[in-house]
A and B are shown apart, each in its own frame.
Chain A
């Protein structure tokens, strides 16, 4: 390909994502920022954890995205009695044409390009762990046999932040698998009024037509991987991740005061992958500090762990992280 083709593809990328954003914003009113972040994570090939109160439309948003991207959506409603095999699939006894019996693997709902895991924190840790391999490796191992998941594969999980009874908070290892953790805010009054007009008697997501083909999605994701990350920007991203470690050189004093653990190296990867998508969305072939800054909070907020004192004081990790990002931005 030539330089011109890269520029052309970049323009197409911009137009496609803008079109998808417009469609989603029509179906999911008043959450422009959330939609942009969600698309960023998906085009970066990452999984997303949506956190918000019940009734804010998280499931609706997932359905709208899947419809807009032309993807099959599979939904898993987590409950405490949900078993891993209910997600991954299991072997069942079948009869072949010769009427011989044998075990055949029946794929579970995780075998879909886009999986919505609703209220993931209601599932037991054992079931939650069943998602780990799928999220990280893109495969499922059952009875010693590996079953690859479709490509691309996205997992959108939702959880309720205030309901604690009968829930199992996600372990850090699993949280780390999510590229972004997005918080669904309560919509404004104007957005609520518009929402009533559009979805009182109808489901806008049901009317969304696919904008892309699977091949087009692959092209877009491949284009994202070409975006240039200059050495100074890499170092800046590293500095930001290190700033979340108060006990390390380059660590922020705020992190030392409030964080028990800082962001992982996977957090750095997530940060830069998301920054590349944002750069392409802005029509650039290289990432900028602004891209890293915009991706910092959703990429790192679930990778830092507050210490006991800060948790007891009711300190929000987002606030601390935001201050760390601001301090980092002043230095770069």
Chain B
């Protein structure tokens, strides 16, 4: 046809087509917004009430539906010109003028009549004003129904930005701010400390039996293993002590020569339930640990249950073993353990002992250590 493709008719049709295309992508984005909002909100809820989640990962996951919607819109391409013409006729009550003009323009030259030329010219006359109306009247406005998913998504973002769930009583992350010392809240955590204790005991067992090496300062010296991996410790009241201090009349909770007894956890737990009466300590148990978890070398989430230490005293107000903590005769030890000096395994570190550089306690851990020795009545 004699009308070039850059005529007002085609300018309008391309304009409508672009508008349709963007509108289609927008509607797909709107649908995807619901998915993103659901992901953000779900992630936020999990983060706030169940388990901390990395906000960046959740945000990236939530962005996936939006990116997919845009990608899909781009891949589907722009709508055909005939569709744009029909839509333009519908928008401007064109009575099929654009559709007819486009149809006649696309017809073979032999089919062109004066009526078809008349129609195309009429369309070209109308197109500029329609384009102007389209530019002004059909400006994009944010759809109202997008408010809900956006609000939900923002709520999810807010939840994700919260510090995370409150620490459970049986677990705390290293470096967490210590709660105030309160005897009514016995289940507190100091995993590093306990892990250090356990490692110290393990090191003590593995060390050669050398009386010269015994001493208060040696117990905490190896609280971290050579690999730096924290170890699990379960030393509740059910543990079996391999110490000779568990014998009646020799309450091991009473510090001997200023040492605080510490019981190896792993060994104690292995005999639980099969050893008859448990060898509880006179002090109701001190530094008990439960529910610790194996973690990564960098920051293992460990947990400690803390029980206040009560010094057992006799009628003369002197430290003495009680009947409750009398324990029983020493259970025969395995041959591997028999060589370990009992003083070494029972030895506890004094606070004033120099700490090795490898062990850096967090504020929480320092708090529990302080509380531990405070309950024992030992000076720091």
Binding site for B on A (CB under 8 A): 1-3, 5-7, 10, 226-228, 230-233, 282, 284-290
Residue from B82, B95, B104, B121 in contact with A228 in the complex, judged by beta carbons closer than 8 Å = B104
State the CA gap A288–B97 with chains docked (Å). 8
Residue from A6, A231, A232 in contact with B118 in the complex, judged by beta carbons closer than 8 Å = A6
State the CA gap A2–B113 with chains docked (Å). 9
A-contact bits for B85-129, CB 8 A (1 contact / 0 none): 010000000011101111110000000011111110110000000
B95 and A285 contact, CB distance less than 8 A: no
State the CA gap A10–B118 with chains docked (Å). 10
B114 and A2 contact, CB distance less than 8 A: yes
Residues of B contacting A285 with CB < 8 Å? 100, 115-116, 118-119, 122
Residues of B contacting A5 with CB < 8 Å? 114
Residues of B contacting A228 with CB < 8 Å? 100, 103-104, 113, 115-116, 119
Q: How many residues of B contact A (CB 8 A)?
A: 20
* A228-B119, A285-B122, A286-B119 given; A3·B114 CB < 8 A: yes
Closest to B103 in A: A230
A331 to chain B minimum Cβ distance, whole angstroms, is 12
B102 to chain A minimum Cβ distance, whole angstroms, is 8
B38 to chain A minimum Cβ distance, whole angstroms, is 34
Some 30 contacts from A to B, beta carbons below 8 A apart, are: A3-B114, A3-B117, A3-B121, A6-B114, A6-B115, A6-B117, A6-B118, A7-B118, A10-B118, A226-B114, A227-B115, A228-B103, A228-B116, A230-B96, A230-B104, A232-B82, A232-B86, A232-B99, A233-B99, A284-B95, A284-B122, A285-B116, A285-B118, A286-B96, A286-B100, A286-B101, A286-B104, A286-B115, A287-B96, A287-B100
A1 and B119 contact, CB distance less than 8 A: no
Kindly list the 6 A-B residue pairs having the minimum CB-CB distance in the complex, ordered from nearest: A286-B100, A230-B103, A288-B95, A230-B100, A288-B96, A226-B115
A287 to chain B minimum Cβ distance, whole angstroms, is 7
Closest to A226 in B: B115
Extra 13 A-B pairs, beta carbons < 8 Å, given A3-B118, A232-B96, A286-B115 = A3-B121, A7-B118, A226-B113, A227-B115, A228-B103, A228-B104, A228-B115, A230-B100, A230-B104, A232-B86, A233-B99, A286-B101, A288-B96
Most A CB contacts (10 A, CB to CB) among B95, B99, B100, B113 go to: B100
State the CA gap A6–B113 with chains docked (Å). 10
Residues of B contacting A282 with CB < 8 Å? 95
Interface of B is mostly: helix
State the CA gap A1–B116 with chains docked (Å). 13
Residues of A contacting B102 with CB < 8 Å? 230
State the CA gap A7–B116 with chains docked (Å). 11
A37 to chain B minimum Cβ distance, whole angstroms, is 19
B118 to chain A minimum Cβ distance, whole angstroms, is 4
Residues of A contacting B96 with CB < 8 Å? 230, 232-233, 286-289
Most A CB contacts (10 A, CB to CB) among B86, B96, B100, B122 go to: B96
Most B CB contacts (10 A, CB to CB) among A7, A230, A282, A288 go to: A230
B118 and A233 contact, CB distance less than 8 A: no
A-contact bits for B288-312, CB 8 A (1 contact / 0 none): 0000000000000000000000000
Closest to A286 in B: B100
State the CA gap A233–B100 with chains docked (Å). 8
State the CA gap A51–B53 with chains docked (Å). 79
Closest to A10 in B: B118
Most A CB contacts (10 A, CB to CB) among B86, B101, B115, B117 go to: B115
State the CA gap A287–B100 with chains docked (Å). 8
B81 to chain A minimum Cβ distance, whole angstroms, is 12
Closest to A289 in B: B96
Residues of A contacting B97 with CB < 8 Å? 284, 286, 288
State the CA gap A3–B104 with chains docked (Å). 14
Residues of A contacting B118 with CB < 8 Å? 3, 6-7, 10, 285
Residues of A contacting B104 with CB < 8 Å? 228, 230, 286
State the CA gap A285–B115 with chains docked (Å). 6
Within 8 A of A (CB), among B74-90: 82, 86
B112 to chain A minimum Cβ distance, whole angstroms, is 10
State the CA gap A5–B117 with chains docked (Å). 11
State the CA gap A282–B96 with chains docked (Å). 13
Residues of B contacting A289 with CB < 8 Å? 95-96
Residues of A contacting B116 with CB < 8 Å? 228, 285
State the CA gap A7–B118 with chains docked (Å). 7
State the CA gap A265–B288 with chains docked (Å). 95
Residues of B contacting A287 with CB < 8 Å? 96, 100
Residues of A contacting B115 with CB < 8 Å? 6, 226-228, 285-286
Residues of B contacting A3 with CB < 8 Å? 114, 117-118, 121
Closest to A236 in B: B96
State the CA gap A288–B119 with chains docked (Å). 12
Residues of A contacting B95 with CB < 8 Å? 282, 284, 288-290
State the CA gap A111–B99 with chains docked (Å). 43
B16 to chain A minimum Cβ distance, whole angstroms, is 15
B103 and A232 contact, CB distance less than 8 A: yes
